Structure formats: structure tokens, C-alpha cells
Structure 1
Amino acid sequence: MKLAILVLEDEPDVRAALERDIEPLARTVRIEPAQDVADAREVVAQIEAEGDVLALVLADHRLPGTTGVDFLCELAADPDTAYIATVLVTGQADQADTIKAVNLAGLDYYIAKPWSVAELDTVVRKLLTDVVEATGLDPMPHLAALDPVRAMDLVRRRLGDR
């Protein structure tokens, strides 16, 4: 079982850049691209069907059809996906969109385009660690993708529970 990150971005160059910037995590994390919300829904179903855990969605806001914020709201409203960490990676969301993302989608983080690779890495590792902790998953198989200090605390606590 792997943790999965969904990269929801309609611009191929931007999607490829996001994937490239989180590629160092790919040894232990499944990275799945989607170009729109319909595609993202199919990817989510595929991840679940294959027994992996969707842990994080990096979503643009302005997409053809359904917006990224509306998709994040869908995830937050469904008890089966409400645990998923969400990041809005956009340069296009206005204040109302951002407020909706925070209030209705439980947005975990907002990253403005163009992003800093270091910030993206820090945020992704923190949020993956949050999901592992919140869901009670064994951190050991995912250590290389987690926040190192917090991950070791999770391992210590898990070993202490035995």
C-alpha cells in the first residue's frame, strides 16, 4: 500500500513542473496527474481500487468545467475522503474562492504560482505526515516522504504502544 498524491492541473507544463518538483518522493509515494475534475475522479477511484491511499491533492483552481475548489469541497464533504490533505496551487483564486476553499473544503495550505520548490517539498512532507498520523497508518513504509522529525516521533509512539 502506497500513499498517493493527486496533481490536478489543466496546464500540461505546470502539471509536469509540479510532478517534477515532487518526484524525489516517488520512491515511496504514488504521484498521479489529472487534467480536470472528471479525470481526477477517475484517478481517485483507481487509487482506491488498487488499495493505495490518496493522502494529498495539489489542485489548481481555474480548470475547465468544475473548479479545483469545488472538487476539494466534494472531497471534504464525503466522509470517505474527508481525511485527504488539500493544497490549492494557483495564481487565479480570488478572495471569495479562497474563503470557500478554507471554510468549505478545509483547505490545508495555499501555494501561489510560481511556487518555491523548497516550500512545496516542506508542505507536502508535513501534510503527508499529518495524514499518516490522523489515519493511524504505519509510518515505516512512508518514512522517506514524511517530515523526518515528526515521522520518528510517530515511529517511537507506535513502538511504545506494543
Structure 2
Amino acid sequence: MEKINIICVDDEREVLDSVVRDLEYFSDLFNIEECESAIECLDLLEEFDANQEYVALLISDHVMPEKSGVELLTEVELDKRFLGIKKLLLTGLATQADTIRAINDAKLDNFLEKVWDPQELVQTVKELLTEYIVERGIDYQEYIEKLDAPTLYRLLT
């Protein structure tokens, strides 16, 4: 089974803990990593790239010191080593201009507002993981219990 990572980025520890707690559903099949800054996330991405590990999903807050979530997601989008990583912006403070920039420049895959519904977050992550696994040609059978059946059907037919 391939090691597939999900990275969650938020500078507020309580929020990060909450996201990770909501994603516990995936932890038996996916590695969930926590970063408290965009810089820490970029370092982790470098490490995963060096170890040739998959990163399926990057969930990021927007308002953070040093580098915003939109800047982080855009940088990841522009780095050819990270093609295909699904990107989810999870924030309550992004302006309309920030959101448009995230969609256009970072090729954002999804956006959820804080405070989010945990079930909606899990469903969104299921759909994004399903898309990533199918697009990468990874054997989805090993992950089927955590994937989204309608998305899988749509992508395979």
C-alpha cells in the first residue's frame, strides 16, 4: 500500500487540532500531518518529495504570519514537483479578492468557511482523495472504504 499524506496547515493550534480531530476518520489509511505555518509546510513537502511520498491533499488556513494560505497554495501549484496535489482553503477571513486569487492562481479544488461542518469537511476530503487516487493511477481498492463512491463511479466511467 502506498503511503499517502494529508497536510493540514493553520497557525492556531486549537483550530489545527480540530481539523485533525475531524479527519480522524481517514487516519487508519492516510497519514495526517500538522503544520503551524506555510514555511513548515513547504519544508515538509520538500521532505516528502525527497522520500518520494505522495501528498494527496493540502488543507490550509489563509491568514497566517510570514506567508498566507493563498500564497502557500499558489506556490505549491506552481511547483511542478507537486502537480496534482488537491488544495482546500479552510478559512473565515479570506476576502473575495483572496478567494478569487486562490481559485485562479492556486487552482483551488475546494473552499470551506470556518466554522465548518465536520461532516461536510469529511465528505469534501473523501471526494478530493478519490480524485487524487484515480488521477494518479493508484490502486483505489486498497482505500475504497474511505473514498467517495459517486466520485469514483464518475471518474471511472
Q: Distance in 1 between matches of 2:17 and 2:142?
A: 26
Which residues of structure 1 form unaligned runs of 5+? 158-162
Q: How does 1:45-124 map to 2 (within 5 A)?
A: 45-124=46-125
Give the secondary structure class of the aligned counterpart of 2:77.
Answer: helix
* Partner Cα separation in structure 2 for residue 8 and residue 23 of structure 1: 16
Contact 1:3 1:142 in 2 (8 A): no
SS across alignment from 2:139? coil
- Kindly, what percent of the aligned residue pairs are identical? 31
Letter in 2 for 1:48: D
After superposition, the C-alpha distances for 1:99-119 in whole angstroms (9 at most, x for unaligned) are 000001000111000000110
Unaligned runs of 5+ in 2: none
- In the superposition, the TM-score normalised over structure 1's length comes to 0.89
In 1: Cα distance, 2:77 partner to 2:64 partner: 19
Contact 1:28 1:144 in 2 (8 A): no
Number of corresponding residues: 156
Cα shift at 1:80: 1.8
Following superposition, which runs of at least 4 residues in structure 1 exceed 6 angstroms of deviation? none
Separation in structure 2 between the aligned mates of residue 39 and residue 142 of structure 1, nearest angstrom: 28
CA RMSD for the aligned pairs? 1.7
